[in-house]
Each structure stands twice: as C-alpha cells, then as structure tokens.
Structure 1
C-alpha cells in the first residue's frame, strides 16, 4: 500500500494524524491535498492511505462502492500498526478522515484501538434527506478525545439536528465552519473560499490536539 506523507512526518513528527479518504474520492483528491497541506503548515504530520476498493479503482479506473465495514476497519487497523512501528511508542497517533473515512476512524477508536484521538472532517451523521438513519451508536464507546469539523450547510448533519440528539454524541467536540457544505465549500457571496475553511479546520485541529495533550492549555 502506498502511503502519502507530509513534510512534518519526514522530519521527526511530534504527533501523527492517520487520515482516510471519503467514499467517492481518493487520498489525493483536491480536498485531501488541501487539508494535508494545511495540517502540515500547522505542524501536524499527516499520513494518507487508501482503502482496498479505492486502490482497485486506481489500478483499473473502474468505480466501485466502498468495501464493507469489516474490510475498511481491517485496512485502517493494519495501516495504524504500520505507522506505529515506524514512529515508535512515544509519538502520539491520531486517526481521522473525510466523511466516511472519519466515521471509520471513530469506529476504530470505539473498538479499543490504541489511538490518542480522532478528528473527523465532515462527519456523515446521516444520509442526506434521511435524518432518521443516524450513525452515532458507537460514539459513547470512544474513550479518547474526538473532534468533528462540520460545515453549517452540510446535508449529512446540521446544528439543529445535533442539538436534538446531544446525549447520543458522547464526549465528542464539534466545531462549526460557517457556511461550509460537506466539502467545506462556502457560498460565493460569503467572501470566503473552500481553502479558507480548510485552513480554519486545520488550525482548530492543532489547537484541539494541543489541548488534549496539555489539559487546560
């Protein structure tokens, strides 16, 4: 499996974020490239990888639906073990991802995997238009710090919906990106760009990681 590593990873990282892609776009999509670059600027070393179905798509160009959850989790877990072997026990490793990738990261953490935290970028709380099909049953089992960066226009989960289901969210923290959709793209009239919101998400990620490592900072 090819891993995509940012500069911070190469130069003795003090924290690593293992980042998974969403359901429909690869690890080197425009969103993932911007996010990895923004996190690198914030001093967060990022390692990206691809799930088996996306690797096959890269090989033959044929679109496929995502693998079933056990396959995705097994791939995530195996990649985590590889990174842990590379960086040793002293470097904190966080897991996260875009949409489906973030959901898999949170499920991995809920299973007791040895991770220091979780960061999700655009969490798919429910399929668009189906607010009755929530995907948070495992949240209370996540025992490490968990941050979700969510656009206020994201059809996969909006603020008013989450307010009604707060008890189901466990101890996760949510930061809202004003005007962003599921890809953190704001409306043109806002005067902001997608990259502006991605960079804000990266800053919030670094701040959250620092606070988690030094409570009360």
Structure 2
C-alpha cells in the first residue's frame, strides 16, 4: 500500500481496528472521523485507509466510480499484510468498505469483522442479495445497521439465514448513515454514540 493511513488511539493497544470507507465518501468523511475518533478516545487503535479510486479522486479532484471488486479485495489483503497480519487486526468499514472486508475476513484470519451499514442489497432491489458468503462466515462479526436502512432494514434482514458468528446492533430509526427521523426523538449524534459503544463492546469481546 502506498496510500496514507490515518491512525487514532494509542499505539500500544492490543490490536488495531482497520476501517475502509464507503463507495462515495473518503476515509476522513464526518461519519468515518466520528467513529474512528470516538473509538480512539476509548483507548482503541483505529486505522483508516482509502481504496485506489478514492486516492486518485483526492489527487485529481475528479469523481471516479469505485474500483472493481478484485482490486478492492486485493487492497484489503495488502493493508492487512502491511499492518502485520490478521491476528492483530479487526477489519471492517462503512457500507462497501465493510462488505469488501467481509469477503476476505476468513481468508485473512482476522480477530473480528465490523460492518457499519452493510449493503445487503441495492436500494429498491431486495431480491439482489449480497449475503451468500455471510451464511458461512466463521469470523466473529458485528453489523451495526439502521433499522430503516434502504440497503437492508431490520424487517428484511431479520429474516435472512446468516452465520451464527454474526451479531447485530440496530440503530433506532436509522437510515444507511444511522440518521433517525426527527419524530424518533433521537439525533444522528445519539445513534453514532450508540454505534461507537457497540463497536467498543465488540472489540472487548475480541480480546482487547
């Protein structure tokens, strides 16, 4: 990996959580920064990186579509190797970044997997599921999902046949970015804080 890696939290933490961004926003988006910095403040070591298309977008200023899946997966393998191998890492990310992590988690032998808003299907196309590999996933996993996420809300997802290694934390009335509606009485900050707390508890269960 030649791209920059952003770190939060103490260098002497027992392991590192590595987070990849979603399809449209970079590693330093408000969502990614809030999660990484929130966990760092709790004593977790968090690394963020960008896929090649986002690195190029940052350099050129021109919007580019995501790289093809083989490139994204190879990027994940490279970052795992660069950061010392799977045994010292929990991997995951926002939406597409978390989905790509889930595809290499077992292969890389990581401690755990954290998906923040998993894209179970394209919006409006619930029949096009992206769950086949999640049925046999062996890596302990946490999926933090908005209850009304258009990529897979609670009513749909709770009916899926997924691996028992996967646990869920539901963001009350949250959308794909965990934003609730005003009528819920909650704020985006409330749900982000709940997400950070859930990830922190999961990391503790992973041995840290």
Normalised-by-shorter TM-score class: over 0.9
Q: Quick check: 2:122–2:128 contact (8 Å CA) kept in 1?
A: yes
Question: What residue is the counterpart of 1:178 in the other structure?
Answer: 172
Q: Which TM-score applies when normalising by structure 1?
A: 0.89
* Runs of 4 or more above 4 Å deviation: none
Q: Quick check: 2:144–2:170 contact (8 Å CA) kept in 1?
A: yes
Cα displacement string for residues 89-113 of structure 1 (whole angstroms, at most 9, x for unaligned residues): 8x73100100000000100114x11
Question: What residue is the counterpart of 2:155 in the other structure?
Answer: 160
Question: What residue is the counterpart of 1:137 in the other structure?
Answer: 132
Could you list the runs of 5+ residues in structure 1 that have no partner in the other structure? Answer: none
Q: Quick check: 2:137–2:163 contact (8 Å CA) kept in 1?
A: no
**Residue 54 (1) aligns with residue 73 (2):** no
Cα displacement string for residues 197-217 of structure 1 (whole angstroms, at most 9, x for unaligned residues): 112111111112222439xxx
**Residue 103 (1) aligns with residue 99 (2):** yes
The counterpart of 2:111, out of the listed 99, 102, 116, is 116
What is the rounded CA distance, in whole Å, between the counterparts of 2:5 and 2:169 in structure 1?
28
Q: Quick check: 1:139–1:170 contact (8 Å CA) kept in 2?
A: no
The counterpart of 1:188, out of the listed 174, 182, 193, is 182
Cα displacement string for residues 124-167 of structure 1 (whole angstroms, at most 9, x for unaligned residues): 000000000000111134211001000111111011212222x2
Aligned-residue CA RMSD in angstroms?
Answer: 1.7
Q: Which TM-score applies when normalising by structure 2?
A: 0.93
Question: What residue is the counterpart of 1:23 in the other structure?
Answer: 23
Q: Quick check: 1:42–1:202 contact (8 Å CA) kept in 2?
A: no
The counterpart of 1:211, out of the listed 191, 205, 208, is 205
Cα displacement string for residues 66-86 of structure 1 (whole angstroms, at most 9, x for unaligned residues): 10111001111111111117x
**Cα offset, 1:186, TM superposition:** 1.1
> Match of 2:43, SS?
coil
What is the rounded CA distance, in whole Å, between the counterparts of 2:84 and 2:187 in structure 1?
35
What is the rounded CA distance, in whole Å, between the counterparts of 2:61 and 2:164 in structure 1?
40
**Residue 128 (1) aligns with residue 123 (2):** yes
What is the rounded CA distance, in whole Å, between the counterparts of 2:12 and 2:178 in structure 1?
30
What is the rounded CA distance, in whole Å, between the counterparts of 1:145 and 1:80 in structure 2?
17
**Cα offset, 1:117, TM superposition:** 0.5
**Cα offset, 1:169, TM superposition:** 4.3
Question: What residue is the counterpart of 2:12 in the other structure?
Answer: 12
Could you list the runs of 5+ residues in structure 2 that have no partner in the other structure? Answer: none
Question: What residue is the counterpart of 1:37 in the other structure?
Answer: 37
